[in-house]
Chains A and B, each alone.
Chain A
Amino acid sequence: MSELLDFNLVEASKALKNKEISSLELTKAYLKSISDTSSLGAYLEIVEVKAISMAKESDKKLIDGTARPLEGIPIGIKDMFCTKNIKTTASSKILENFIPTYESTVTQNLWNDGAVILGKLSCDEFAMGSSNETAAKGNVINPWLKNKKMSPGGSSGGSAAAVAARSALAATGTDTGGSIRQPAAFCGITGLKPTYGRCSRWGIVAFSSSLDQAGPLTRTVSDAALMLNSMAGYDQKDSTSANLKMPDLMDYLDKGIKGKKIGIPKEYTQDGISEDIVKFYEKSIGWLRDEGAEIIPVSLPHTKYALPAYYIIAPAEASSNLARYDGVRYGARQEASSLDEMYELTRGNGFGDEVKRRIMIGTYVLSSGYYDAYYLKAQKVRRLIKEDFENVYKKVDYILTPSTPTTSFELGKKQDPLTMYLNDIFTVPASLAGLPGISLPVGLDKSGLPIGIQLIANSFDEAGLISTARVLEMSAGFNFIADGAAK
């Protein structure tokens, strides 16, 4: 079985199309791998029967020559995506028995392109968290230094852990402030957050609607390109969906970066960033220079205000979005004698602590008398952050930064909410500006944990992002496999 797990997505797709392997054997290898790595807790739901039947369907198409771009590829889906007739909980107790009657656009796009579903992946509750510890069913364990029980990051912790542990060939994630890029960095894999509007939000459990964006978590940059090709696309059902055709990203893998300008923002090397990360950040700058890029120091002066602005805007939108969990239309209900008491008990009992904190913050900053001072102020700062990027993109093509200030940390170490929020300090600015970003692994720190580097492109330049990331990937030559991965 092991050589089947060795194929990355692009290689597996080629082997399937050349009929060297079948989707059924590949899918079975991954189902076994899910069972072998079950102690990591990455999966909330495994859909073995459906997986086998989709794989058989794919094998027919592979044989009769009608194979689609992701034909027969077994993937995992973050539990934020509604999947028809498959339980979708957003890792929350309030949705513990929720079975959607419809399919999200992004997952439907993947099935239309031949992908095979393995199951649903754990995440922080309603995608609110950076360690996967806010999940109602408990944390996920990072397959790196498995015995030390490190965090896989969050919120797409299950997705990142599954790809790193080889219990999914690729996975979907959602990213509001870093929820794809930070766990990808912690788990030594590639995570891409596209431009806001590139992937439809329809059928994705809403957290912060002006920021939420779906994207792939994969082993390689090419794998991310192939996944995003299928996930992205205009959708009338999402009013913020961009009606722009994305070029075939596979055409941009080997374009190189000769003559491209890479911006190095001075605000991203602050106190508190780990020495090993700084070392690999500097190496990455050198690698891009060696491949013909011009390195240009730049400044994004409002960077330090991105996190405070985010922690007003995201909770404000969350408090509004999560008002729908009222125990009336779907989700768990706590019985009570009056309607208001029913709402309060249902929500008090159904949401975890972090979700409650964010609803409370959001309600406060939107409440009468505080709206202008907090919410409107944050939206103004958001514009300044976006303008910082617009100014810099007049001078450079891409921006290179570390993905996170530290590598993964041990699970269960009690951290106050604010310290946890600082994990997203390097990923939040691009989220607020709606820009595409990718994190890819470039090395290991002294303790053997993966280090991620982030590239940020201008709006809708996913193609250039892929070309640049690919150069960095080839130079870094990261080919380590987590000790907790399936063998």
Chain B
Amino acid sequence: MPNKDTIVDVPTVNKIARLSRLDIPEVNKENLTNDLNNILGFVAQLDEVDTSNVEPLASVTGHKLPLRSDDVNDGNIEDLVLKNAPESSSGFFVVPKVIE
């Protein structure tokens, strides 16, 4: 982990915002950059811990995740699935035009 006061700058914040698909107003960017640096600076203390022979732990459940049979099944609930969609038509979700 980089161990300096400025871990991320505004261009990096712009890049993360883009990856996150978040519109961040220009006026908020400096504060957000500071907040992110404070948080990333805080979590950087993990560098002190020797983890050279440690396996990462992703799940605390002791059990193997169960598998179900791979059946194609749409649930037959098209109306319910579309019920909360901002826009739908003929059984489909509608989005702004993607191809000109």
**B38 vs chain A, min Cβ distance (A):** 5
Q: Are A319 and B61 in contact (CB under 8 A)?
A: no
B interface footprint on A187-208 (CB within 8 Å = 1, 0 otherwise)? 0000000001100000000000
> Which residues of B from 33 to 54 have beta carbons under 8 Å from A?
35-36, 38-40, 42-49, 51, 54
Residues of the A chain whose Cβ atoms lie less than 8 Å from the Cβ of B57: 379-380, 382-383, 386
Q: Are B49 and A367 in contact (CB under 8 A)?
A: no
Decide yes or no whether A53 CB sits under 8 A from chain B: no
Decide yes or no whether A448 CB sits under 8 A from chain B: no
Q: Are A359 and B20 in contact (CB under 8 A)?
A: yes
Decide yes or no whether B74 CB sits under 8 A from chain A: no
Residues of the A chain whose Cβ atoms lie less than 8 Å from the Cβ of B84: 98-99, 101, 329-331
Nearest A residue to B62 via CB reads A459
Q: Which of B20, B60, B86, B98 interacts with A363 by CB under 8 Å?
A: B20
Nearest B residue to A378 via CB reads B46
Give CA–CA (A170, B53) in the complex, Å.
Answer: 45
Q: Are B39 and A240 in contact (CB under 8 A)?
A: no
Decide yes or no whether B4 CB sits under 8 A from chain A: no
Q: Are B51 and A348 in contact (CB under 8 A)?
A: no
Q: Are A343 and B21 in contact (CB under 8 A)?
A: yes
Decide yes or no whether A351 CB sits under 8 A from chain B: yes
Q: Are A243 and B86 in contact (CB under 8 A)?
A: no
Assuming A357-B39, A380-B56, A416-B38, is B21 touching A344 (CB within 8 A)?
yes
Assuming A239-B65, A329-B85, is B24 touching A356 (CB within 8 A)?
yes
Main secondary structure of the interface of A (DSSP, over half): helix
Main secondary structure of the interface of B (DSSP, over half): loop
Identify the interface centre among B32, B35, B97: most chain A CB within 10 Å of its CB: B35
Decide yes or no whether B80 CB sits under 8 A from chain A: yes
Residues of the B chain whose Cβ atoms lie less than 8 Å from the Cβ of A311: 39, 42-43
Residues of the B chain whose Cβ atoms lie less than 8 Å from the Cβ of A328: 85-86, 93, 95
Assuming A239-B66, A418-B39, is B56 touching A383 (CB within 8 A)?
yes
Q: Are B43 and A378 in contact (CB under 8 A)?
A: yes
Q: Are B46 and A377 in contact (CB under 8 A)?
A: yes
Assuming A242-B63, A378-B46, A379-B57, is B23 touching A348 (CB within 8 A)?
yes
Give CA–CA (A376, B47) in the complex, Å.
Answer: 12
Q: Are B36 and A364 in contact (CB under 8 A)?
A: yes
> Which residues of A from 314 to 353 have beta carbons under 8 Å from B?
319, 323, 326-333, 335-345, 347-349, 351
Q: Are A243 and B39 in contact (CB under 8 A)?
A: no
Give CA–CA (A376, B23) in the complex, Å.
Answer: 28
Decide yes or no whether A361 CB sits under 8 A from chain B: yes
Q: Which of B23, B46, B85 interacts with A345 by CB under 8 Å?
A: B23
Q: Which of B23, B36, B56 interacts with A360 by CB under 8 Å?
A: B36
Count of interface residues, chain B, beta-carbon cutoff 8 Å: 53
Residues of the A chain whose Cβ atoms lie less than 8 Å from the Cβ of B77: 101
Decide yes or no whether B10 CB sits under 8 A from chain A: no
Q: Are A339 and B96 in contact (CB under 8 A)?
A: yes
Nearest A residue to B93 via CB reads A328
Give CA–CA (A191, B98) in the complex, Å.
Answer: 48
Total A-B pairs, Cβ < 8 A:
170
Residues of the B chain whose Cβ atoms lie less than 8 Å from the Cβ of A379: 56-58
Decide yes or no whether A434 CB sits under 8 A from chain B: yes
Q: Are B59 and A210 in contact (CB under 8 A)?
A: yes
Assuming A319-B20, A357-B36, A384-B54, is B45 touching A342 (CB within 8 A)?
no
B interface footprint on A350-376 (CB within 8 Å = 1, 0 otherwise)? 010000110111011001000001101
**B4 vs chain A, min Cβ distance (A):** 14
**B5 vs chain A, min Cβ distance (A):** 14
Q: Are B35 and A417 in contact (CB under 8 A)?
A: yes
Residues of the A chain whose Cβ atoms lie less than 8 Å from the Cβ of B97: 338-339
Assuming A356-B24, A434-B60, is B96 touching A380 (CB within 8 A)?
no
Give CA–CA (A330, B8) in the complex, Å.
Answer: 33
Decide yes or no whether A292 CB sits under 8 A from chain B: no
Decide yes or no whether A308 CB sits under 8 A from chain B: yes
Residues of the A chain whose Cβ atoms lie less than 8 Å from the Cβ of B20: 319, 347, 359-360, 363
Q: Which of B19, B23, B49, B65 interacts with A240 by CB under 8 Å?
A: B65
Q: Are A356 and B22 in contact (CB under 8 A)?
A: yes
**B23 vs chain A, min Cβ distance (A):** 3
Decide yes or no whether A305 CB sits under 8 A from chain B: yes
Residues of the B chain whose Cβ atoms lie less than 8 Å from the Cβ of A421: 39, 42
Decide yes or no whether B70 CB sits under 8 A from chain A: no
Nearest A residue to B65 via CB reads A239
Q: Are B21 and A308 in contact (CB under 8 A)?
A: no
Nearest A residue to B20 via CB reads A363
Residues of the B chain whose Cβ atoms lie less than 8 Å from the Cβ of A240: 59, 61, 65
Q: Are A377 and B1 in contact (CB under 8 A)?
A: yes
Decide yes or no whether B87 CB sits under 8 A from chain A: yes
Nearest B residue to A354 via CB reads B35
Residues of the B chain whose Cβ atoms lie less than 8 Å from the Cβ of A455: none
Supplied contacts A377-B51, A417-B38, 6 more A-B pairs, CB within 8 Å = A305-B48, A319-B20, A331-B86, A347-B21, A363-B20, A367-B16
Q: Which 8 A-B pairs have the closest CB atoms?
A: A348-B23, A434-B60, A379-B56, A330-B84, A333-B86, A383-B57, A380-B51, A344-B23
What are some 22 contacts across the A-B interface (CB < 8 A)?
Answer: A101-B83, A239-B66, A242-B61, A305-B48, A307-B42, A311-B42, A326-B21, A328-B95, A338-B96, A339-B95, A343-B21, A347-B22, A348-B23, A351-B22, A360-B36, A363-B19, A367-B19, A374-B43, A376-B56, A381-B46, A383-B56, A417-B38
